[in-house]
A and B are shown apart, each in its own frame.
Chain A
Amino acid sequence: MAPPEKTLLRLITCGSVDDGKSTLLGRLLYETGSAFDDELALCGDDLSRLVDGLEAEREQGITIDVAYRFFATATRKFIVADAPGHEQYTRNLVTGASTAELALVLVDAAKGILTQTRRHSYLCRLLGVSHFVLLVNKMDSVGYDRSVFERIVADYEALGQGFTAIPVSALAGDNITGPSPAMPWYEGPSLLEHLEAVEPEAERTGGPFEMPVQWVSREGRRGFAGTVAQGSVRPGDRVRVMPSGTAATVERIGLGEAALDEAVRGQSVMLSFAEEVDCSRGDVVASAAYPPEVADQFEAVIVWMAGDELVAGRQYGLKLAAQSALATIHTPKYEIDVDTFEQVPAHGLRLNGIGVANLWTDRPLVFEAYEDNRDLGGFILIDRVSNETVGAGLIRHALRRSHNLHAQALDVTREARAAMKGQRPRLLWFTGLSGAGKSTVANLVEKKLHLAGRHTFLLDGDNVRLGLNRDLGFTDADRAENIRRVGETARLMLDAGLIVLAAFISPFRAERRMVREMLGEGDFVEVFVDVPLAVAEERDPKGLYAKARDGRIPNFTGIGSPYEAPEAPEIRIDAAALTPEQAADEIVRYLTR
């Protein structure tokens, strides 16, 4: 007898605590002969006991963690992620749904659609489960009433289209393996008939070829080991190794000693190329014509799975296919209420929270949008201290700034340079009247940062006007051009990963705003060194006020030309009350916040 050819389908069961999930699973195991006699004997009449798990769960009478069950019919093997129905366990449902091709959504006929039903269905759709079965269970408890079934189906339709609805009784076995005499009004397939008929998502082998490289074989001919994530590949195919973009020709597709004519999605193989190619773990071998994108900034849906809240700005370990990186997550744009599906404002994310946020990585990643490809669009976040898996992410798209980076441009990014220096590049823009103490305070701040191991550079009026800007005078137009050039210079230095301090009178709001917009919000820190004109004039360290009063310096700020004080500076220093030392400490404190 040759082993029967079977296909495989992975599914997840979801529903509320009392909807009868354990009984259904027990029933499926029993009906398919997947439970053994000695196990059945232990259960007595209660099939749900077949799937009871840990001691702690039995004591509490609930299921607290995802369990995996197996049953098989003559044509198909099923792997079931048995996700707990308890309200608190979004993270377990997401875990189970991540590998599922079909969701079995259980509803108690007597109770109808509950909060958990909606939540679980939403999460399964979010995670990309492609088939849905609405199982209206416990039909025996409502007298097999057709109208009850139809009402629940109508309610569920409001949550989304594209599902198969089956009225069942897991306890009595109605519509599980064949048509139920108790419900002659139902003409659709039984549960098992339907499960055997749906097309597993894993069998969709279309799309351009993609294979993340897990491991490189170095004994003899170089081999690149991985599991095909999308499409298929044959010997002779032209491919590209991403992110470098190096082209190559597939020479051999190995599986053990055998050479294959073709490898399709889901197969684990060893590729060798006709050319010598630089390729290592984390790279993605892809179709030469349609390689996946490379980027280092993304918008993603984040599911938080840890007791400690998500900290925006903190670096987390990130794993996507075989790629590892460090990721910094910005403050979430919003959180999704999984009961109402509304967007609510968020500052962080708590356990089981789902939000949308931008993130950037310390190195470019080869990726696809999650909805197109789970393997190249799904990532996990790892706490760098505890090593726990604290979150899961689904990439929506790359941010425009980093979209379609090309190999030449992406080797060393601003983030990579900054990460190497272990700092966040920023521009501290000191503005204020002449004699307010801008340069003095900026100098002190730079010294303190330098001592703290930061990489800095101080730009001030003197070192810029003597070189870069020596062609500029003091007309309004020249002052504006002066500031523009300083802004551009500072931007290059920020790209180099530096913390830049710029001390310029910069009297006009418009120019300061120009620099702020040039750099982007968050990178520009305006420091207003505030002192009354009288105090500055009294100090007059360079004798400039005296000259201006004498009419020897036209357009001198505060005398012949106005100073437009900042309306909302990030930092305001009361230079008449604080010593330069105190002022510098306050600024350093702001930076380390």
Chain B
Amino acid sequence: MTLTHLQRLEAEAIHILREAAAEFERPVMLYSAGKDSSVLLHLARLAFAPSRPPFPLLHVDTMWKFKAMYELRDRAAAEAGMELIVHRNPEAEERGINPLDHGSALHTQMWKTDGLKQALGRHGFDGAIGGARRDEERVRAKERIFSFRSAGHRWDPKRQRPELWRLYNGRKSKGESFRIFPLSNWTELDVWQYVEAEGIEVSELYFAAPRPVIERDGTLLMVDDERLKPGPGEEVRERWVRFRTLGCYPLSGAIESRAGTVPELIEEMRTGRQSERQGRLIDRDGTASMERKKREGYF
């Protein structure tokens, strides 16, 4: 019996999830309602069945996700029978930080980076499981599966622990923590093939549909609610679009597409040949912006 590449990736991810559950006192799974989160949640249910996954879900909210993502989030958590913790940075909320007035850098820093640190500290979580993959970005290619964070949540790319075999060292002192990445060795294509093979529910936003969009600085933005107002010369038009990655809606560029099924998406990826992060506006702040953000504690 020969295992397929998806079976081997699945087995590896399950192995990592179980190590995380066994090695940490207060593990938590980050859940953002994106496709990687959907796959991760599915794997967590496989890993621990018939028990429920022995950790809660944490959504670090920014107030600016797509409506459809909030709906999927609540439904998926309920179906899994898992506790869902939603954290919003109170300072960002009070000061009304948003991507339109304050720019993507500050918005991301305060809501996501600071918000994550606050949430982990408040609940005493010492291991945060996330769906990041090594193929997403060059800096991630070198990150460990059990990735150490100092008490200040900093990642030091030069002081990573060697990671051999299937042995993960999750030991730490008080205040220190880990990020755990069970999907490290998956590619975007693997994720979609697995979604298809396992029939996993992912957000409808990944599939093409007529949606109200405006074009701004060469990027198509979906008008998900009244907070995004067309500027001078911009007009809301209904277009057939979908999203390759999902985040805050004013920071997620749509692509024109008619792909309505996973196989059609995969086919489009093959011919489109643009990388996944290309639609993520937060990665355009500088050449090494991801590395800097990660060192500061971005997931």
Chain A residues within 8 Å of B, Cβ to Cβ = 1, 3-8, 33-34, 36-39, 51-56, 64-70, 72, 76-77, 79, 82, 91-92, 94-95, 98-99, 202-203, 205, 214-215, 217-221, 223, 225-227, 232, 254-257, 262, 264, 266-268, 270, 281, 305, 317, 319-322, 374-375, 378-380, 382, 387-389, 392
CB pair A389 B18 closer than 8 Å: no
Cα distance, A205 to B1, chains bound together (Å):
8
For the complex formed, measure the closest distance between the CB of A380 and the CB atoms of chain B, giving whole angstroms.
Answer: 5
On whether A267 and B193 interact (CB within 8 A), knowing A53-B138, A387-B172, the answer reads: no
CB pair A215 B164 closer than 8 Å: no
On whether A317 and B171 interact (CB within 8 A), knowing A94-B164, A217-B51, A227-B15, the answer reads: yes
Residue of A nearest to B138 (CB): A53
CB pair A68 B185 closer than 8 Å: yes
For the complex formed, measure the closest distance between the CB of B243 and the CB atoms of chain A, giving whole angstroms.
Answer: 17
Contact of B49 among A4, A5, A257 (CB under 8 A): A257
B69 within 8 A of A: no
Identify 16 residue pairs between A and B in the complex whose beta-carbon atoms are under 8 Å apart, listed by A's number.
Answer: A1-B263, A1-B267, A6-B6, A36-B278, A51-B138, A56-B158, A72-B5, A77-B187, A203-B2, A214-B19, A217-B50, A219-B50, A317-B171, A378-B164, A378-B167, A380-B167
Cα distance, A226 to B14, chains bound together (Å):
9
B102 within 8 A of A: no
How many residues on chain B are close to A (CB under 8 Å)? 64
Cα distance, A238 to B184, chains bound together (Å):
36
For the complex formed, measure the closest distance between the CB of B205 and the CB atoms of chain A, giving whole angstroms.
Answer: 21
Cα distance, A375 to B15, chains bound together (Å):
13
By a CB distance below 8 angstroms, the chain B residues around A203 are 2-3
B288 within 8 A of A: yes
Residue of B nearest to A385 (CB): B173
Chain B residues within 8 Å of A, Cβ to Cβ = 1-12, 14-15, 18-19, 21-22, 45-52, 134-135, 138-139, 141-142, 157-158, 160-167, 169, 171-173, 184-185, 187, 189-190, 193, 196-197, 263, 266-267, 270, 273-275, 278, 288, 291
Cα distance, A488 to B49, chains bound together (Å):
54
By a CB distance below 8 angstroms, the chain B residues around A322 are 19, 22
Dominant secondary structure at the A interface:
mixed
CB pair A38 B274 closer than 8 Å: yes
By a CB distance below 8 angstroms, the chain A residues around B164 are 94-95, 98-99, 378, 380, 389, 392
Residue of B nearest to A257 (CB): B49
By a CB distance below 8 angstroms, the chain B residues around A94 are 162, 164
For the complex formed, measure the closest distance between the CB of A143 and the CB atoms of chain B, giving whole angstroms.
Answer: 35
By a CB distance below 8 angstroms, the chain A residues around B6 are 3, 6
On whether A319 and B22 interact (CB within 8 A), knowing A52-B138, A67-B141, A72-B189, the answer reads: no
For the complex formed, measure the closest distance between the CB of B108 and the CB atoms of chain A, giving whole angstroms.
Answer: 19
Contact of B169 among A7, A72, A266, A389 (CB under 8 A): A389
Cα distance, A92 to B163, chains bound together (Å):
9
Q: How many A-B residue pairs have CB under 8 A?
A: 189
For the complex formed, measure the closest distance between the CB of B14 and the CB atoms of chain A, giving whole angstroms.
Answer: 4
For the complex formed, measure the closest distance between the CB of B261 and the CB atoms of chain A, giving whole angstroms.
Answer: 9
CB pair A268 B291 closer than 8 Å: no
Cα distance, A70 to B158, chains bound together (Å):
22
CB pair A382 B4 closer than 8 Å: no
On whether A37 and B18 interact (CB within 8 A), knowing A53-B139, A95-B162, A268-B47, the answer reads: no
CB pair A54 B2 closer than 8 Å: no
For the complex formed, measure the closest distance between the CB of A36 and the CB atoms of chain B, giving whole angstroms.
Answer: 4
CB pair B46 A256 closer than 8 Å: yes
The winner among B9, B11, B274 for most chain A CB atoms within 10 A is: B11
Cα distance, A232 to B19, chains bound together (Å):
22
CB pair B169 A202 closer than 8 Å: no
Residue of A nearest to B8 (CB): A8
CB pair B142 A65 closer than 8 Å: yes
CB pair A225 B47 closer than 8 Å: yes
Residue of B nearest to A99 (CB): B165
Contact of A254 among B5, B49, B52, B169 (CB under 8 A): B49
CB pair A37 B274 closer than 8 Å: yes
On whether A219 and B51 interact (CB within 8 A), knowing A6-B4, A76-B5, A380-B164, the answer reads: yes
By a CB distance below 8 angstroms, the chain A residues around B142 are 53-54, 65-68
Contact of A3 among B12, B19, B161, B193 (CB under 8 A): B193
CB pair B4 A5 closer than 8 Å: yes
Contact of B50 among A1, A202, A220 (CB under 8 A): A220
CB pair B46 A255 closer than 8 Å: yes
By a CB distance below 8 angstroms, the chain B residues around A6 are 4-6
CB pair B185 A70 closer than 8 Å: yes
CB pair B165 A374 closer than 8 Å: yes
By a CB distance below 8 angstroms, the chain A residues around B46 are 255-256
CB pair A55 B275 closer than 8 Å: no
Cα distance, A37 to B8, chains bound together (Å):
29
For the complex formed, measure the closest distance between the CB of A325 and the CB atoms of chain B, giving whole angstroms.
Answer: 13
By a CB distance below 8 angstroms, the chain A residues around B15 are 214, 227, 268
Contact of A375 among B1, B166, B267 (CB under 8 A): B166
CB pair B274 A379 closer than 8 Å: no
By a CB distance below 8 angstroms, the chain A residues around B139 are 53-54
By a CB distance below 8 angstroms, the chain B residues around A1 are 263, 266-267
Residue of A nearest to B49 (CB): A256
By a CB distance below 8 angstroms, the chain A residues around B288 are 55
